[in-house]
Structure 1
Amino acid sequence: MPQIIVLPHVELCPNGAVIEAKSGDTICDTLLDNGIEIEHACEKSCACTTCHVILRKGFDSLNPAEELEEDMLDKAWGLEPTSRLSCQAVVDDEDLIVEIPKYTINMVKE
């Protein structure tokens, strides 16, 4: 069973976390199921960027991003080459190291 190592985030996960993940689940669902309340303003429908994460390890093991996700990521704060929307990134069988960016752009609230 793969693990997701979440790097410390001041508000959501101050000490970081190591959690067991199920292959086939999204990173977002795995984080939420383990008490890490990552924002997901569009209810995981790939219509915002609030669940943006940066993969520090394991990026290539994820399912490829589709065009809609790529278009949404262009609007994300702190975009990096290994950025994904966690609601769209499906865990495979490799361990992941995930960083949740310090800021998010919530177009629903703004």
Structure 2
Amino acid sequence: MTQVLVLPHVELCPDGAVLEVEPGESVCDALLENGIDIEHACEKSCACTTCHVIVREGFQSLGEADELEEDMLDKAWGLEPNSRLSCQAIVAATPLVIEIPRYTINLASEGGGPKK
């Protein structure tokens, strides 16, 4: 199991969380399975940016983003060099520190309206 530290997020995870994740699982699936309701408007098909996360530690352990993910990330709010779509970021053996951005660009929010 790989440790994934989720930094506090005011709405989704106010106290932060420490997750034990099976290598090979996506960051998005790990968050959802642990009660952190990150948006994933495209059902994890790499067709939106709502599951955007910033990998504060362990970024190099993730496989490289493919061209489709890179194109989608260009549209993400608060893009940083270590940004990934959590549906595409596959956990390896290296521990990760993940930050969920405060805002998301989502015109079809599953939660009942756009998030700010």
Q: TM-score scaled by structure 1?
A: 0.97
Q: Give me the whole-angstrom Cα distance separating, in 1, the residues matched to 2:98 and 2:73.
A: 16
Query: In structure 2, what is the Cα distance between the partners aligned to 1:32 and 1:25?
Result: 11
Instruction: Tell me how many residue pairs correspond in the alignment.
Output: 110
Q: What's the counterpart of residue 37 of structure 1?
A: 37
Q: Distance in 1 between matches of 2:10 and 2:42?
A: 23
Query: TM-score, with normalisation over the residues of structure 2?
Result: 0.92
Gaps of 5+ in 2: none
SS across alignment from 2:19: strand
In structure 2, distance between residues paired with 1:94 and 1:36: 21
2:5 corresponds to which residue? 5
SS of structure 2 residue aligned to 1:60: helix
Deviating beyond 2 angstroms after TM superposition, the runs of 4 or more aligned structure 1 residues are 107-110
Deviation of the 1:63 alpha carbon: 1.1
Question: How do residues 30-109 of structure 1 correspond to structure 2 at under 5 angstroms?
Answer: 30-109=30-109
1:26 alignment partner in structure 2: 26
Q: Is the 8 A contact 1:48 1:107 kept in 2?
A: no
- Classify the secondary structure of the residue corresponding to 2:55: strand
Name the % identity: 70
CA distance in 2 between partners of 1:55 and 1:107 (Å)? 24
CA distance in 2, matches of 1:2, 1:47: 27
Unaligned runs of 5+ in 1: none
